């Protein structure tokens, strides 16, 4: 049986809790409820219940005098208990307000929250959950953070970090601020970001989240935060002040500090599922407000239709759910100062009422057209685990996408298992096979070699296999498709030859990402050798495995210096971060005359451009990426071979002289930056090395001599 369509909240309906000079207005969208009670919670934990009034659009509302900033509350929603029709109303459960601006903490699964056995047999659990669930907090409006001039994606360098893990062990951050929003705003932290060349931080989920019962039962916690319970509230545990709602001010101050340093703030947002888990999970909010309205259900309505792998997927075909997502995005932009969003498992958000993927989904169209979101960065993780969920390249001009094709091939290339260099050239040129259509540009491709999910870049060159025993799942969790190479020894070693090779390989991987057209994304700490000891699924590790060890900065300082130098070069020369696709077009001088060289070409190292035979040589492990405009040119040599390689620097039209700007090898292996290498010079590239060279090129077409006339 199918559920009836739900009414949508009126366009002017203001949901959540909103204060005025005399009290607070409360509104909740609960379209199938028969009664809604507001439970006001006093400091002594006593409750005062107030009935809300229904409206035809499914919104229940009331105004309470004398209630203001910092007040605690929840809802009790009445209605039928009929799981076979998708309805699980139970007023014994104190529910979190989906629109609350703050909450008080996590869930006490050992407390009186839920009788799972009773739920699974479709009987409402009469136990009051009041003492076990987070309380919603009334938060008065305050001015938004200071704005920042937003960069186009083509100029952006994204840095994915975890708010707590990034500063939990930072030696210069005061102990009481480590692991908080205020800790991330500490001058020493911001200085490192700026010095590295970061233009935007992408925060792992900071929407208020909870841990799952099975994780808590294992003595662990949901560290990453992909278990959202509040789409308008900054996570309470990251606040530096223990007072109801204080985390909101903390977050705003963090954003202001980052903006003043020229760093944008992007949120990793999880609208595809919630922290309530599958249909046998706890009733914390959405399930008790309208289970069949918020969640996708199987045809018999008894179970959640799962396309996320988490047991529950949010039903964005419902207008009220679409409204909630849009309201949340607008709030984080207008009130919290956020500059962009990375949408976790974004394909789930564009599935229709029949669970089919629809790139013209109303939510996607509304999001793209919303004036509040104009200029805000929209990044899709373009897949989920359902049918046809892999949507890489399909999101359209308003979007950038995580490019897992880039990640996979670049890893293969540097571990020595490529099939020639054709795909490497495609990935370096901005993955035009995926994105060069419908008016899209290279910035659509978010290029990365690591992310929070998987090995760090140091572990990528230190482990051939995952080591996830600390997760207490018998090493069964996490992917086995790591495409890594341990350089000869599994894990840490004192062999200095292997250590040096690992440093070089990390530089190679990072350099490939920074030199490719598109938007690079670094995982926090990769620029100075962060390790998770081979754990490639540290979602539950709130400890040293996940925390950034700033002590590694000394031992891996060469990698950080390499990173910051290359990013500075990229920032200084727009030609290295092309905003449009290049197709071997002629470079023209100021008079519109061709200079005889292309804007993008691929060099073989012996005769100039790659030949047909070169492209079809599956054993080839070297390529030169040549980029040029009317003023300057660069060539980057990527050599993944295990032996040195002699190349000949090509003559005109490519260039007259060359100078090495940086490389991933040892200083004594290549000429220095002051050495001018004339065209025709034979140069030896060391094994497994990237070399970036500036090229001297003519900036004007030589004048042709006039013919004498008699």
Q: Cα–Cα distance between 552 and 524 in angstroms, integer?
A: 13
In the predicted structure, residue 257 carries a pLDDT above the cut 80 = yes
Tens of pLDDT, residue by residue over 596-650, are 999 999 999 999 999 999 999 999 999 999 999 999 999 999 999 999 999 999 9
User: Contact 587/599 with Cβ under 8 angstroms?
Assistant: yes
Q: Taking Cα atoms as reference points, which of 458, 462, 470 lies closest to residue 545?
A: 470
- What is the band of 337 on the pLDDT scale with cuts at 50, 70, 90? very high
Contact between residue 282 and residue 213 where contact means Cβ atoms under 8 Å apart: yes
3-state SS assignment for residue 638: strand
Query: In the predicted model, what is the mean pLDDT of residues 529-555?
Result: 97
* Residue 200 three-state SS: strand
Mean pLDDT lowest for which of 483-487, 551-555, 651-655, 699-703? 699-703
Instruction: Please tell me the distance from the alpha carbon of residue 562 to that of residue 634, in angstroms, as a whole number.
Output: 17
Active site residues per annotation: 344, 381
Which pLDDT score is estimated for 703?
Answer: 64
Of the candidate ranges 122-131, 416-425, 605-614, the one whose mean pLDDT is the lowest: 122-131
pLDDT at 3 over 80: no
- Statement: the pTM of the whole predicted model exceeds 0.85: yes
> Closest by alpha carbon to 512, among 407, 610, 416, 613?
407
pLDDT band for position 700 (cuts 50, 70, 90): confident
Average pLDDT value for the chain: 95
State the DSSP code for 402. E
The pairs formed by 393-400 with CB atoms below 8 angstroms and a separation of 24 or more are 393/431, 393/433, 393/434, 393/435, 394/359, 395/346, 395/359, 395/444, 396/359, 396/368, 396/438, 396/440, 397/438, 397/439, 397/440, 397/444, 398/368, 399/444, 400/153, 400/443, 400/444, 400/445, 400/446, 400/519
First to last CA, the chain: 97
Q: Model confidence over 170-218: pLDDT tens digits?
A: 999 999 999 999 999 999 999 999 999 999 999 999 999 999 999 999 9
| Cis? peptide before 653, omega within 30° of 0 | yes
pLDDT tens readout for residues 261-280: 999 999 999 999 999 998 88
Secondary structure of residue 498 in the 3-state scheme: helix
Provide the pLDDT for residue 422.
96
Average pLDDT over residues 87-95: 95
DSSP string, 433-494: HHHSSTT--GGGEEE-S--SSS--HHHHTT-SS---GGGSSTT-SS-S------TTSSS---
Composition of the chain by helix, strand, coil, percent to 5: 25, 20, 55
Which strands form 657-663's sheet, in the order they lie side by side?
600-603, 622-628, 633-639, 689-696, 657-663, 677-678
Q: Residue 555: helix, strand or coil by DSSP?
A: helix
Strand partners, 35: 78
More confident residue, 124 or 345: 345
> Most distant CA pair in the chain: distance in Å?
111
The secondary structure of 126-171 as a DSSP string is ----TTTSPPEE-----PPPPP--PPPGGG--EEEE-HHHHHTT-T
| Spatial separation of the C-alpha atoms in residues 274 and 313, rounded to whole Å | 8
Alpha-carbon dihedral 19, 21, 22, 24, rounded to 10 degrees: 0
pLDDT the model gives residue 303 = 75
Separation between Cα atoms, residue 618 and residue 555, nearest integer Å: 37
Query: Could you tell me how many helices (H) and strands (E) the chain has, helices first?
Result: 17, 31
Residue 117 has pLDDT above 70, yes or no: no
CA gap 165, 184 in Å, rounded: 10
* Domains, the chain, with CATH or none: 16-137 (2.60.40.10), 153-209+223-271+319-575 (3.20.20.80), 583-696 (2.60.40.1180)
DSSP H or E segment with residue 321: helix 319-334
Is residue 111 over pLDDT 80? no
Mean pLDDT of 79-106: 94
pLDDT at residue 114 greater than cutoff 70: no
Q: How many angstroms separate the CA atoms of 180 and 170, rounded? A: 12
Query: In sequence order, what E strands does 556-621 have?
Result: 586-588, 594-598, 600-603
């Amino acid at each position: 049986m199918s559920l009836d369509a739900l009414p949508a909240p009126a366009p002017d309906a203001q949901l959540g809790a909103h204060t005025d000079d005399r009290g607070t207005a409360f509104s909740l969208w609960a379209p199938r409820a028969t009664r809604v009670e507001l439970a006001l919670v006093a400091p002594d934990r006593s409750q005062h219940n107030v009935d809300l009034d229904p409206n035809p659009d499914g919104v229940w509302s009331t105004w309470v005098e004398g209630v203001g900033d910092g007040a605690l509350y929840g809802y009790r929603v009445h209605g039928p208990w009929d799981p076979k029709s998708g309805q699980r109303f139970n007023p014994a459960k104190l529910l979190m307000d989906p629109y609350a601006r703050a909450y008080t903490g996590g869930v006490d699964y050992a407390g009186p929250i839920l009788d799972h056995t009773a739920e699974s047999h479709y009987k409402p659990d009469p136990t009051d959950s009041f003492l076990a669930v987070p309380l919603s907090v009334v938060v008065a409006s305050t001015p938004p953070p200071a704005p920042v001039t937003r960069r186009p994606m083509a100029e952006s360098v994204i840095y994915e970090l975890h708010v707590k893990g990034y500063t939990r062990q930072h030696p210069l951050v005061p102990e009481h601020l480590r692991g908080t929003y205020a800790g991330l705003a500490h001058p020493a932290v911001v200085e490192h970001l700026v010095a590295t060349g970061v233009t935007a931080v992408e925060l792992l989920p900071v929407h208020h989240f909870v841990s799952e019962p099975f994780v808590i039962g294992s003595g662990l916690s949901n560290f990453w935060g992909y278990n959202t319970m509040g789409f308008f509230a900054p996570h309470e545990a990251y606040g530096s002040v223990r007072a109801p709602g204080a985390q909101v001010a903390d977050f705003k101050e963090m954003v202001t500090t980052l903006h003043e340093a020229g760093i944008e703030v992007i949120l990793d947002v999880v609208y595809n599922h919630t922290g309530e888990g599958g249909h046998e999970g706890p009733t914390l909010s959405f399930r008790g407000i309208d289970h069949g309205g918020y969640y996708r259900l199987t045809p018999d309505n008894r179970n959640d239709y799962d396309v996320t792998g988490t047991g529950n997927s949010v039903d964005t075909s419902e207008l009220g759910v679409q409204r909630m997502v849009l309201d949340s995005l607008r709030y984080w932009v207008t009130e919290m100062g956020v500059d962009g969003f990375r949408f976790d498992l974004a394909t789930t958000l564009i599935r229709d009422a029949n669970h089919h993927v629809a790139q013209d989904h109303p939510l996607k169209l509304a999001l793209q057209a919303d004036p509040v979101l104009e200029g805000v960065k929209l990044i899709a993780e373009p897949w989920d685990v359902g049918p046809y969920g892999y949507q890489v390249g399909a999101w359209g001009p308003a979007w950038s996408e995580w490019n897992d094709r880039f990640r996979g091939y670049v890893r293969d290339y540097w571990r020595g298992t490529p099939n020639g260099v054709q795909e490497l050239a495609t990935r370096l040129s901005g993955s035009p096979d995926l994105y060069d259509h419908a008016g899209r540009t290279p910035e659509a491709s978010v290029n990365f070699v690591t992310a929070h999910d998987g090995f760090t870049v140091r572990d990528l060159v230190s482990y051939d296999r995952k080591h996830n025993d600390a997760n207490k799942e018998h090493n069964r969790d996490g992917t086995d498709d790591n495409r890594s190479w341990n350089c000869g020894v599994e894990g840490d070693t004192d062999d200095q030859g292997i250590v040096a090779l690992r440093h070089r390989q990390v530089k190679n991987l990072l350099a490939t990402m920074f030199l490719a057209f598109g938007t690079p994304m670094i995982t926090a700490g990769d620029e100075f050798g962060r390790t998770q000891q081979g754990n490639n699924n540290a979602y539950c590790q709130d400890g040293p495995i996940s925390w950034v060890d700033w002590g590694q900065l000394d031992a891996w300082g060469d990698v950080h210096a390499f990173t910051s130098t290359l990013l500075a070069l990229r920032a200084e020369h727009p030609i290295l971060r092309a905003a449009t696709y290049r197709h071997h077009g002629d470079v023209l001088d100021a008079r519109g005359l061709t200079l005889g060289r292309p804007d993008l070409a691929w060099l073989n190292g012996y005769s100039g451009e790659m030949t047909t035979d070169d492209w079809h040589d599956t054993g080839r492990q070297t390529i030169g990426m040549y980029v040029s405009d009317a003023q300057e040119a660069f060539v980057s040599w990527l050599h993944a071979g295990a032996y040195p390689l002699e190349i000949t620097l090509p003559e005109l039209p490519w260039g007259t002289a060359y100078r090495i700007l940086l490389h991933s090898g040892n200083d004594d292996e290549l000429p220095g930056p002051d050495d001018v290498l004339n065209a025709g010079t034979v140069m030896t590239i060391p094994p497994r090395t990237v070399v970036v060279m500036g090229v001297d090129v003519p900036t004007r077409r030589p004048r042709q001599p006039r013919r004498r006339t008699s």
